[in-house]
Each structure stands twice: as structure tokens, then as C-alpha cells.
Chains A and B, each alone.
Chain A
Amino acid sequence: MNDFSDIPPLPLADWDVLISGTGIKQSLLAVALCRAGKTVLQLDKNSYYGGSAAAFYSLSEVDAWVAKVNSGDEVGIKNAVVVSNAGEGAGYGSGRGYTLSLAPHLVYWHSSVLEILRRADLTDGFSWHAVGSWWVCLTEEEVAVPAVATGVGGVVGLAEVGVKAAKLASAAGKKRAGWNKGRKKESVAETTPGGGEESVGERVTQGNSETTLRKVDNFREVPCTFEDVAWSKDLTDKDRGQLGEFLRFVMRYNDPTDQKCSRIFEENRQTSLRTFLSEIFPIPPFITTSISSLTLIPSAPSEITLEQALPRLAVHFSSLGKIPDVRSSAALTIAYGGSAELCQVLSRAAAIAGGINVLSRGVKSLCSNKKGDGNRKLKAQLESGETIYADWAIGEASDLAKEVKPLDGKSMSRGIYVIETQIGWLFERKYKDENITPAAAVVVVPGGDKGAPVYIIARSGVTGECPRSQCEFSNLKSIVMSLIKPGLLHAVTESSYGDMNAAIDKVLQVCSPLSEILYSLQYTAVTTSPEIGSEDGTVILDPLTQDIALQDDVLEETLRIYERIVGTREGFMDVPEEIRRMKEEMEE
């Protein structure tokens, strides 16, 4: 990205840790190890940060990446296709163009990554935005028939549950103010809707948004907040009971003191979520589809096991209601490209803690340092011709000059669509007393019983990922500019590009008659398996998964590696004492 010709040689040949790559895990480790006092050299063969979690800031950067993918040089990615209807030269200027991110992750409020960032004093390096509701595209029948309970049965008496639900509902009525303690109560500001908002507002069927799930044509909001479950008119009391009981189960399946729940879970680990729901907590199909969408697993419903689904549902529901000023939201996302931004901020944090980041310099070969040049365990030859020594080398196989074999397993289709149409309904505030407007939303287009659903993550212009000129079109007085000029749709599915396009079309059809895709990038991510059995000191990272939300595994893996190197997990990412003191002095 830079064209400075005289890049100097590395300041040292001798390091505690060599990290090759600037992805999320690599960068987390770089910060943690620097802060633990290790000397860390972090390299990247690319001229940009992030690796498979990178973002591209102009369409010409995307073009370069696509060319690399299609010539087989980008490990784990294949078959990239760009379709551009943007005008000549539009978006090709760098820096202020589109931000097309390969990893626009959602981050749950109760995710271990967010917790660590807080502890590491790094959260204020980002602009965090709320992810609004989940929406599912339902069939005509599902939309038309207002929820009808499909059966009676299960392990709990319905009558009993009905009573409980009623109690919950009235308790909620009394205690609503306490629903979110973190919420500022000072002012419930009334917004003055801009012109765009009104016209969009008409499309949204919401006689009373507090008690009815929002619906836009075939898209219906997923019931999930307390109010939804307790009051929504779209649910019968029976549904309410079953759903409430299921949510209780979600929060307790992992609790060893709750023998009933853990027993049900143990017996059904491998059962598909769908089957489990229909047998144990019978709820109408539209609710099953809705619940399933919260798992963010882009596989066919029959393939999603209870064991996979429950931890994800638990994170969702335990996060819900916790985000200050936006209680209907469970997750956040980072502006300017999600995890791509995370990687950059972390790498910078590593540099601040004394590490060295060098882009455009890859590892050419890595072996044990047998000849005893110094006493480091490993010797690495870099593409630049330099030789360096380190006790540890961390990276994905492809970044450490190790052979990578593609797995036959699943591949994931992904797409990024730049659209110019009104999808403001996705970003409206759910409750009037929320002071934050969501900047992202999740839309799920199910693929039927056997087919994989398409997950669409919509990001509004507020995330700063579209050229300013497009955003500046709109009236600055309007509080929610996204209503007028939207941004990007990211799609993820185990299904085909065709299904992905069809799903995007479904969203666009609802949006406005003027729907248009300005630009799209599609690609296929393939699971790769690293070579096992490496030299002492070499740590091969698992490739980043294609998950929609940043998973706790990411942190778990880095913690494990940190422990191997430092000897303990204690103090992971902690700010060194003298820096903390300096910061405190500065605050005064």
C-alpha cells in the first residue's frame, strides 16, 4: 500500500517470538506476548493487515486480491467473481472508497473476545455499533397463519408453563425499568424522522411496535427479547409457554446443578435442533426457523445438532439486553470492516507494547536451528533474504512455509454486495426508549428442510464502509442517514452462489422498487488442514473459521498458545503496570 522504496533491514536477527501473519489470532498473540515482555517480530507476506480477515479499501485492491485468488495463490479461497455496475472509476480511489471486509464479524456482548479487549484496555480503539434484530424470510403460510400451536406434549405441563408465562409477563411489566441496568435513563429523545424514514416506516407493519413483531412482506423479526416472548401478539399463550421453557433450558443446559436440563441435553446432543424442538418443546415452524437463525450456523437445519446450537443460543440470550442504550440488541460490530479493523488495532497495540510489525515480508523457510547459530530454537529465512532466529514461530501453515492440503469437507460461499437502495427498515430502533440506532442487522433466508440457509449481514452506511460522497447525499440533519443511503450486504451460506444471489434478491425486492446492486464480490472459502508434526517451537494456527460471529474458540486457541510460551494464562493481555500508571497520570 505504501510506495516507500527504501525499507530498512530488521533491527534485530534474534527474537523470542516470530509471528507470521496479521490475522486475529496472530495479532491477539502479538499484543499479549509483547505485553508479557517477549521480543516479538510480526511479519505479513501481504502488503496489508488481516490475512483472511483483511478489508479492502478500494475496488482496485479487491481486483488484485481476486486475481491472486483465481491464480490459486490465496490459501483456502477460490473462485472469486466480481460483478461491477458501478460507474467507471467509481470506488477505485483508495482510502476513502468502499471498505469491503472479508471478516465483518458480529461480536456478542458476552463473548470472551470482548471481555479480553475490555481487560486489555483496547475497546476504546474502536467505533462499536449495535447489531439490531434478526429477520427471517418466511413462506407465505408461515407469515399468513398467525402462530398456532402445533401440538401438546413435551416434558412439562403446558398449563403450568402458561401460568409461569403470565407471571413473567406481569413481572416484566413492573420491572421494566430494571431490565437493563446499564442503560442511561436521562432522556428518551424523540427523533425527528427524515423524509426517508416516514416512507419506509409505512412499509413496516407495526400497530404497536412494543407488542407485535415487526414484519416487512415475508420478512419477520425473530422474537427474542423479553417483551417479545412475554407479550408479542404473534405468539399464542401456548407458544409463549413453550418458548419461555425452551429459553430457560438454553440458559441451564450447562448447569450441573440442574439435573433435568443436563439430562435432556445429554440425551439429545446429536439430535438436530429442529427435531429436538418439535419433540420436546413443540413450537410453530416459524419460531423454530427463527430460533435456528440465531445460531448463525449456515448449514441445513437437519445438520445443526443441539450440541452445536446450544452454546451459541446461550451466548445470544445471555448477551441480549445488556448493551447500554439498546436493550433489544445482543451483539456489536466494529465499524470500518469488523475484524479487519480489529487486526489493525491489535497490531498497532503490539507495536506500542514494543513489537515490530513488518508488512510485505513473508517467511520463505523455517527449520530447527541445529548448527547452533546462537541459542534460539528456530531459524527462519525471509523472502527478503534475511535470516532470523527465534524460540517460537507462530502462524498458519501457509505463512510458515508449511504445506497445506485442502480438506474435502465443506466449503462456504461468501458474497459482499454494495447496494444502493432503501433497507432502512432493517436499521430502525426496535423500542422508542432505545438511544442507539443499530448499524447492522441479520437477515436469514432459509433453504427449506434440506437446504442450507443464506445468512445476510446488512451493514448501514454508518459503519463507514461506503464512500463519503454517497453518504453525503443525504440530509445531514437526518439522524439516521442509513435510512437514505444504505451500505453493504454480506452473505454467507454453505449453498451455491446462485442461492446466495436469490436470497439477496429477496431482500432487495422488499427494499424498494429502485433496488440495485452496484457491485458484488463472491468467493468460496475452503477448509484447509495444516500439516501436523513440526519442529520444536513451531506453532501452527488453525485457519480462521468462516463463522459469522467471532467465536470464543479464537480466544481459546490463543490462550493455549500463550500458556505454552509464557507458562501461564494469568495476565494474558494485561496492560503492564508502568503503562497503566502513565495513562492514569495522563487522565488527570
Chain B
Amino acid sequence: MASRDEAPKLSSSVKLVLLGEAAVGKSSLVLRFVNDDFQENKEPTIGAAFLTQKCALPSRTIKFEIWDTAGQERFASLAPMYYRNAQTALVVYDITKPTSLTKAKHWVSELQRQASPGIVIALVGNKLDLAATTASDGGDADGGDGGDGGDAGSRAVLTAEAKAYADEEGLLFYETSAKTGENVQSVFEAIANAIPENTLKPRGGAGGFAGSGRGGGAGGAGGSGGEGRVGTAVNLEDGVGAKDGCAC
């Protein structure tokens, strides 16, 4: 995805956290973005602490570190460390399930409470493939906020309704389908574009300090301009094979 033939662009690492009710397709969205793949009955967990994917913009390359909830959202058991230093969040709901939007709103306020002040939040209505084929303009689809689950064949959350909420809260808003891939790339590109330049930390070529999600902290290495590697965090990967010897 990122082309290597041009002069190296500014590249930065960004922690992205996923939030949303179970089974709205959080992991599927990531799978589509990262592997351009979709699995019909995917197991709920992903198996890695986070997945990474680059997003190349004209001016810079963003490397997303995508953190999945690992199922911890089901019992409201996400730890504070999950939100910490997240520069952006994807709050996902299922357009066929109105309660999932209610949940999404909870997550948005949780983020506003717990996450860094400048966090970029995108509200994403997933399962667009299940919407009535005529749809996307949010014609008054059947049922309004009535049934969930049962009539999983059709849209139950109006685009306009979710969009209005997103505008009110200052969130990016997209409707996507992880299954067909529709809009998935666009969401991540929109996020990449929305992240303020000054919150991005350059990634020192040869594995500088830990990625933004972890190393950033309350400001330590932030302003040091990348040269010299004077900072505060210790890179554990470096010294694993350090020679033995003692102080005597």
C-alpha cells in the first residue's frame, strides 16, 4: 500500500481503539481494512494485542495500531489502559439494530470522559449491505426504532438520525459494510486526515521508542525533534541479549 519509490514521507504511528456493542462488526471492519478480507461467522476475538495497517496520504503516512476490545466490552470490563493515549477511536454500531446506536452513544461519552482531550472519534454504522437496496439516503425504512434482531434484513437506524448525532458531537460519520468493503477504506482515510499534525510523533527510522500508543505518555519524548534519541522510555527489545557481567 505504501509505495517505497518516492522520497520518504513523514510517517507516524497512531493508536486507534475500537468500541461498540458485541457483534456489530468491529473486528470484521478491521479485518477488511487490514487484510481486505471478510469471514462470515467470525470468532469474536482476533488473537493479537493490536493489528497494524498503513494508510498513505499525499503528505504523510499514518501507521494505525488498531486495538480491538478482545471481547472485554461485553461485560463493561475495558481497562483504563485501553483508552490511554488513543489518538482516535472507531465507535461502531449496526444499522439494523437501534440499541447498538444507543450503546455507541454510551461509548462516545465514555471516551469523552476517559480518553485524551483531542481524540478523533468516528461513528460508524456497519452492515450497510443489509440495508434495503434502495436505501442509503435514509428513506423512511421500516420500523424506525422498533424491532432489532428479528428483521435483520433491513435498516433500522436512519442515516440522518445518526448523522445528526455525529454532527452534534463533532464526530466523523460513515456507513460501511465490512462484508462488501464499501466505505471501509474511506473511514480510515478520513480519520488519518482528521488527526491534527501536531499530535503526530515522527517514527524514528530504525524503531525509535515504543509506538505512540505506549511511549507517548504525558509528554516525555514528544518535543525532542527526533534526533539524538534522548528521551525517557526504555526500549526493552534492544537489550535482550546484553552481555553478562557484574559490577565487581
A464 at the A/B interface (Cβ < 8 Å)? yes
Query: Residue on B with the closest CB to A130?
Result: B234
Contacting residues of chain A (1-53) with chain B, CB-CB under 8 angstroms: 1-4, 7-8, 49
> Is the Cβ of B49 less than 8 Å from the Cβ of A95?
no
B147 at the A/B interface (Cβ < 8 Å)? no
Q: Mark B12-48, 1 if CB is under 8 A from A, else 0.
A: 0000000000000000000000100000000001111
B229 CB contact (under 8 Å) in A127, A189, A439:
A189
**B243 neighbours in A (Cβ, 8 Å):** 178, 181-182
B7 at the A/B interface (Cβ < 8 Å)? no
Q: Mark A432-474, 1 if CB is under 8 A from B, else 0.
A: 0001110100000000000000000000011111101001100
Query: Residue on A with the closest CB to B248?
Result: A247
> Is the Cβ of A352 less than 8 Å from the Cβ of B47?
yes
Minimum distance in angstroms from A483 CB to a CB of chain B: 12
Query: Residue on A with the closest CB to B82?
Result: A348
Minimum distance in angstroms from B175 CB to a CB of chain A: 24
**A186 neighbours in B (Cβ, 8 Å):** 229
B2 at the A/B interface (Cβ < 8 Å)? no
Minimum distance in angstroms from B54 CB to a CB of chain A: 12
> Is the Cβ of B242 less than 8 Å from the Cβ of A127?
no
> Is the Cβ of B224 less than 8 Å from the Cβ of A479?
yes
Stretch at the interface among A354-362, A385-393, A404-412, A505-513: A354-362
A8 CB contact (under 8 Å) in B75, B83, B216, B229:
B75
**A282 neighbours in B (Cβ, 8 Å):** none
> Is the Cβ of B242 less than 8 Å from the Cβ of A359?
no
B228 at the A/B interface (Cβ < 8 Å)? yes
A305 at the A/B interface (Cβ < 8 Å)? no
Contacting residues of chain B (88-145) with chain A, CB-CB under 8 angstroms: 103, 106, 110, 113-117
> Is the Cβ of A358 less than 8 Å from the Cβ of B238?
no
Minimum distance in angstroms from A327 CB to a CB of chain B: 10
**Given A95-B80, A435-B229, CB of A352 within 8 Å of CB of B242:** no
B84 at the A/B interface (Cβ < 8 Å)? yes
> Is the Cβ of A123 less than 8 Å from the Cβ of B236?
yes
> Is the Cβ of B72 less than 8 Å from the Cβ of A324?
no
- The B interface is mostly helix, strand or loop, or mixed, namely loop
> Is the Cβ of B232 less than 8 Å from the Cβ of A437?
yes
The answer for the CA separation of A125 and B224 in the assembled complex, in Å, is: 23
**B80 neighbours in A (Cβ, 8 Å):** 1, 57, 95, 344
A348 CB contact (under 8 Å) in B51, B81, B234:
B81
Minimum distance in angstroms from B140 CB to a CB of chain A: 28
A253 at the A/B interface (Cβ < 8 Å)? no
Minimum distance in angstroms from B107 CB to a CB of chain A: 9
The answer for the CA separation of A317 and B242 in the assembled complex, in Å, is: 15
**Given A323-B239, A325-B234, A439-B232, CB of A356 within 8 Å of CB of B75:** yes
B247 CB contact (under 8 Å) in A96, A229, A345, A348:
A229
The answer for the CA separation of A7 and B246 in the assembled complex, in Å, is: 54
**A225 neighbours in B (Cβ, 8 Å):** 247
> Is the Cβ of A352 less than 8 Å from the Cβ of B48?
yes
> Is the Cβ of B79 less than 8 Å from the Cβ of A128?
no
B233 at the A/B interface (Cβ < 8 Å)? yes
A423 at the A/B interface (Cβ < 8 Å)? no
> Is the Cβ of B237 less than 8 Å from the Cβ of A124?
yes
> Is the Cβ of B217 less than 8 Å from the Cβ of A352?
no
Query: Residue on B with the closest CB to A244?
Result: B248
> Is the Cβ of A461 less than 8 Å from the Cβ of B218?
yes
> Is the Cβ of B74 less than 8 Å from the Cβ of A322?
no
Query: Residue on B with the closest CB to A343?
Result: B79
Query: Residue on A with the closest CB to B233?
Result: A127
Minimum distance in angstroms from A195 CB to a CB of chain B: 15
**B222 neighbours in A (Cβ, 8 Å):** 476
B210 at the A/B interface (Cβ < 8 Å)? yes
B52 at the A/B interface (Cβ < 8 Å)? yes
Interface centre among B216, B218, B237, B238 (most CB of A within 10 A): B218
Q: Mark B201-230, 1 if CB is under 8 A from A, else 0.
A: 000000000100011111110111001111
> Is the Cβ of A435 less than 8 Å from the Cβ of B218?
no
Query: Residue on B with the closest CB to A472?
Result: B219
B149 at the A/B interface (Cβ < 8 Å)? no
Apart from A186-B229, A352-B46, A476-B222, what are 10 other A-B pairs with CB-CB below 8 Å?
A2-B78, A128-B234, A322-B239, A325-B235, A336-B81, A354-B45, A356-B74, A435-B229, A471-B218, A481-B220
Sorted from nearest, which 5 A-B pairs have the closest CB atoms? A189-B228, A182-B239, A247-B248, A344-B79, A182-B242
